[in-house]
Structure 1
Amino acid sequence: MTNSAGESHANSVGSKIQVRGGGERSEGETCHAGNQTLGGNEENEDERFASQIKRELSEKLPELNPTCIFRVPQKLVRDNENVFVPQMVSIGPYHHGGKKLQGMEQVKHWYLQGLLDCKPTPDTSLVSLVELVKAIRSMEEFLRSCYNEKPDLKSYDFVKMMVVDGCFIIRFLRMDNRFEEPGIDDPVFRVPRVYSAVKKDLLLLENQLPWKVVLCLFNRTAKPGDPSLQKFNINLFWAPASFITSRTTATREIRHYLDQVRDLLVGSLTTDTYQYWTPIPPVTHLEEIGVRFQLAPPERARLDITFDAIDGVMQIPQMIIEVNTESVLRNLIAYEQGAVRHHESHLLSYAMLFNHLIKSTKDLERLVQKNIIYTELSKEDTVRLFNRLCNDTERISFSYPVLAGQVNGYYEERWLRRWLARIKNNYLYNPSSVWSVSNAVIIVLILTATQTVYSVLAYYKQP
């Protein structure tokens, strides 16, 4: 009895806890209170986290990544590395110090010295190298961030490279636009091979300087009567200036020279929706069903191709093909493939359109006859150029969905013309096919005549 009473008393004591104020609380109530305390701590922690996140959101958001000069993806390079790699002069850090490009480093220094030696005029002062260096140094951190692969150069080497390369570009532009006469012994302008190679190298994606560098140096070295830097750039491109429509760029910041060229080529062309590309028939097939190709007015932007679905007329601005054209187009396409803001693949769409229009030398000849294409290459090389421009590219969006739909609709509606054209091509213009058809017709006539004779004889032999 005593043990039972003791156990009962112990259980009673264990099941109750004395609290201040004389009250008693059960063990279950005590655990619940502990959970409430723990839950309260968790709620406080949640509030603390939320408060911290809110403070971070209220801070100034970081600026958009200024990266705009990057390496060409390897899958694009493997098809033809030469169109992406400088052959004569390095600009910027990616190919800086290349052994085969060292010969132009002395020319760069010579061009810079010539810019510094320019005599001042009443409206200008002597160009100070200290002023140029100071201006570039003040932007060094930003300029480094413009490159996807951060330049592994010390501050002195980086600033020197920016100043030397930028001043080389400016003097090249001045002489190329006849604002400065090249010397009789100028190693660039007096040697056509070097001149052509330098122009190509200045349009390579991996061979760009941030626009702010060239503009900063240009503003500090410009002379009275000089046009804007944008005007210089137009004349540098591989086509005459009349084929590039001026476009206001005040609403957007130019990143580098290749970006400026792309902007001028695109003009007002826009893509409102993302649509997959629908192939269209080649030139010769379209002409068979009545489509006419015309040269667009010269003031129209290069990429502004139109189709009149009522009259069946496609207007295309003139395209000039020379030895450096493939390099320019493929670098523009590579830039579109990697630039964040260029979700509209205008140059890729342009290349794909010509890839479908020109499938053979006959297609090319028809556009050459219409003065739509002028080529310095052979017909075979020109066709191959169009057929490989889009190799290994990513189809992001396309700029001619309406045109493609109209052309294909026009083509499908004229099925009778297509059928007659196919017969004409397969039989009338094919000697072997004509011979086969002739033989077939003769055999049919002979069999028909034989059957007729037998029918007549059978009739007279009847009893």
Structure 2
Amino acid sequence: MDSSNQSSQPSNSNHLFDELRWVIQIRRHLEESTEDDHDIPVTIFKVPKALRVSKPEAFVPQLIALGPYHHWQPELYEMERYKLSAAKRAQKQLHGQKFQQVVGHFIKLEHITRAHYHRYLDFNGETLAWMMIVDTSFLLEFLQSYAPEEGKVLRRVPSRMSHLVDKAGRKSAHNMILRDIMMLENQVPLFLLRVCLEFQCSSLQEADDVLTLMLNGFMRALCPFKMMQNFPCIDVTRHAHLLELLYYILVPKPEEQNCEVIDIHEDQNDAGGSIDQTNNDDSSHIKQFFNASWTAASGLNGSYLEDNHQSASVLCLEKPVEYLFLLWKTSANSKTENSSSNQNISKQPLIEEIMIPSVRELVNAGISFSATKADMTTIQFDLKTVTLYLPTVKLDNNTEVILRNLVAYESSLASGPLVFTRYTELMNGIIDTDEDVKLLRERGIILNKMKSDDEVAKLWNSMSRSVRLTRVPFLDKVIEDVNKYYSSRWRVKTTKFMKKYVFGSWQFLTFLAAILLLLLTSLQAFCSVYSCARWFNPAIIGQ
């Protein structure tokens, strides 16, 4: 009894300690947070589970942790020595000021830093400040390699970091850091980079100029769209973090788009539901006719056939007709049972692929593709020239992580259209195989720096998952116009008819075989009653 009581005492004391710690944190937060942070939007989120489950490694840093979300992960702690080395070099650039002064300034900005993160940060103010200044020092040293040579930069990349930093992207470690830097959960607020640079420069304006040069070079190298013309000017004071800045460059401003957002429900039908319903409606009248005919035939009295003076021919016709109606009734019932049994399986709360033909099918229908050197606002379908315009997108080993995290950031916003997600769904819809990728690559729409076209096809086909459905008018108009033109082609109409009513329906082929069997049996019954030799013998004799 004594031992059990003693063992329970530590757990109770730990529980009381946690409660006291919570009370102290809440009291300190309410007393010290005198400034209002309601105007600071949350911009750094945890990735939604619906997106994370498809490919977790695309959202969890693999080499370096930046910010508080993944700071204590043991597998990422090896990079701490490089971050500390970067902080030491940054300390030498403070122009006589002490590093503690920078930390004190970061502590004063604690409430603003916390406001950017969606999840509660279980760190005290000083710990958070030291963490952020170390991570910020490393991030600035990494970004400076992208500043143009003719521009003003702080210093050259040190030899200790030479095996990690490579602007040309030839080193695997550089690409791993690049992917980790662009992950949603690994973001650091940009205003902290401005503060850190301000201590290293003579003025805030000079710090903004240096940071702008870094970010401009970094975004030009990183941007998936090859926007050679009208690359947007970067205002470092308007953006929250690197991923949000890239999103702003790629996606039109939300206020310029009139879009509608629709939440996904469990009972929402997928995109192919309307087609299945149409098929059922088309065959309903035929089913009703055969069912009614079979019911009427089944109700006939068998004595009628026995008393009929043409019983021989009628009895010969009885079996084929009975087989025909039974075959149709069995196939109809089987189709109904299969559709009802698969109803729960096909009903999934996921966004299905956009209903649009593949690139190969569109090209065969006479639609051309043309590349644009701008953002997604240039996506359009010109009916006069029958040309679909798409922005040129560069795909390499880093692109998939960047695209997935852009989708995650867009999905995490409280409101607004999923414009970028809609674009990925469009590319997923028109790309099915490596042949589709090859056609787009030959037309300059895809710049493939991956191993093969098949890898590019798998990349787009794996990005069909979303958290909610959005209607984006200018993209939906393009999809609607392309489908309308494609469906209007006679070749397409003929192909659809053959697939739907002939090759795609074994019941139809069985029905034709039964009709042929009925005709042959009827001919045999007719010849058994009436001699057919007088019609066929003269022809044989004549030969």
Deviations 1:8-41 (A, max 9, x none): xxxxxxxxxxxxxxxxxxxxxxxxxxxxxxxxxx
Determine which of 151, 166, 170 is the counterpart of 2:121: 151
Structure 1: distance between partners of 2:442 and 2:71: 44
The 3 A distance-change label for structure 1 pair 460 and 236 is: closer
- Structure 1 counterpart of 2:458, which letter? R
Equivalence for 1:403: 478
Deviations 1:142-201 (A, max 9, x none): 211221111111222100011111121111111233544323342412681211111111
SS in 2 for 1:67: coil
- Structure 2 counterpart of 1:350, which letter? Y
Equivalence for 2:105: 135
Equivalence for 1:43: none
In 1, are the aligned partners of 2:107 and 2:126 still within 8 Å (CA)?
Answer: no
Once structures 1 and 2 are overlaid, which stretch shifts more, 380-389 or 238-247?
A: 238-247
Structure 2: distance between partners of 1:246 and 1:126: 38
1:226 aligns with 2:201: no
Equivalence for 1:366: 439
The 3 A distance-change label for structure 1 pair 221 and 344 is: farther
Once structures 1 and 2 are overlaid, which stretch shifts more, 246-255 or 92-101?
A: 246-255
Structure 2: distance between partners of 1:172 and 1:268: 29
Equivalence for 2:184: 205
1:80 aligns with 2:55: yes
Once structures 1 and 2 are overlaid, which stretch shifts more, 157-166 or 65-74?
A: 65-74
Equivalence for 1:28: none
Determine which of 423, 426, 444 is the counterpart of 1:353: 426
Structure 2: distance between partners of 1:155 and 1:107: 23
Equivalence for 1:379: 453
Cα offset, 1:323, TM superposition = 1.3
Structure 2: distance between partners of 1:330 and 1:212: 25
Cα offset, 1:365, TM superposition = 1.3
Equivalence for 2:250: 265
In 1, are the aligned partners of 2:422 and 2:470 still within 8 Å (CA)?
Answer: no
1:344 aligns with 2:420: no
Deviations 1:50-107 (A, max 9, x none): xxxxxxxxxx998346322111112221111100000111011000021111111111
Structure 1: distance between partners of 2:114 and 2:455: 40
Structure 1: distance between partners of 2:402 and 2:541: 86
The 3 A distance-change label for structure 1 pair 236 and 203 is: farther
Equivalence for 2:399: 325
Write the mapping of 1:52-451 to structure 2, written as runs, cut at 5 A. Answer: 63-64=38-39, 66-118=41-93, 125-126=95-96, 128-177=98-147, 179=153, 180-186=155-161, 187-189=163-165, 192-222=171-201, 226=210, 228=212, 230-235=215-220, 237=222, 239=224, 242=227, 246-247=231-232, 253-267=238-252, 270-274=256-260, 279-296=355-372, 298=373, 300-302=374-376, 304-341=378-415, 343-375=416-448, 376-398=450-472, 400-414=475-489, 416-419=490-493
Structure 2: distance between partners of 1:242 and 1:392: 26
Cα offset, 1:293, TM superposition = 0.6
Cα offset, 1:212, TM superposition = 1.7
In 2, are the aligned partners of 1:76 and 1:393 still within 8 Å (CA)?
Answer: yes
In 1, are the aligned partners of 2:64 and 2:177 still within 8 Å (CA)?
Answer: yes
- Number of residue pairs aligned between Structure 1 and Structure 2: 366
Equivalence for 1:25: none
Structure 2: distance between partners of 1:131 and 1:363: 57
In 2, are the aligned partners of 1:288 and 1:418 still within 8 Å (CA)?
Answer: no
By relative contact order (CA 8 Å, sep 6+), the higher-ranking structure is: 2
Equivalence for 1:22: none
With structure 2 as the length reference, what TM-score do the two structures score? 0.61
- Structure 2 counterpart of 1:188, which letter? L
Higher share of residues assigned helix: 2
Structure 2: distance between partners of 1:174 and 1:359: 40
Structure 2: distance between partners of 1:206 and 1:329: 14
In 2, are the aligned partners of 1:234 and 1:244 still within 8 Å (CA)?
Answer: no
SS in 1 for 2:381: strand
Structure 2: gaps of 5 or more residues? 1-34, 263-270, 272-353, 500-533
SS in 2 for 1:79: coil
With structure 1 as the length reference, what TM-score do the two structures score? 0.71
In 2, are the aligned partners of 1:288 and 1:421 still within 8 Å (CA)?
Answer: no
Larger Rg: 1
Structure 2: distance between partners of 1:418 and 1:338: 40
Structure 1: distance between partners of 2:359 and 2:226: 28
Deviations 1:419-457 (A, max 9, x none): 5778999xxxxxxxxxxxxxxxxxxxxxxxxxxxx9998
Give the aligned CA root-mean-square deviation in angstroms: 3.3
Structure 1: distance between partners of 2:36 and 2:78: 45
Structure 1: distance between partners of 2:210 and 2:479: 44
Structure 2: distance between partners of 1:174 and 1:240: 22
Structure 2: distance between partners of 1:241 and 1:173: 20
The 3 A distance-change label for structure 1 pair 245 and 101 is: farther
The 3 A distance-change label for structure 1 pair 363 and 275 is: farther
- Structure 2 counterpart of 1:153, which letter? F
SS in 2 for 1:70: coil
Cα offset, 1:210, TM superposition = 1.7
Equivalence for 2:27: none
In 1, are the aligned partners of 2:225 and 2:375 still within 8 Å (CA)?
Answer: no
Once structures 1 and 2 are overlaid, which stretch shifts more, 249-258 or 405-414?
A: 249-258
Cα offset, 1:258, TM superposition = 0.6
The 3 A distance-change label for structure 1 pair 380 and 265 is: same
Once structures 1 and 2 are overlaid, which stretch shifts more, 165-174 or 242-251?
A: 242-251
Structure 2: distance between partners of 1:268 and 1:66: 16
Structure 1: distance between partners of 2:491 and 2:261: 30
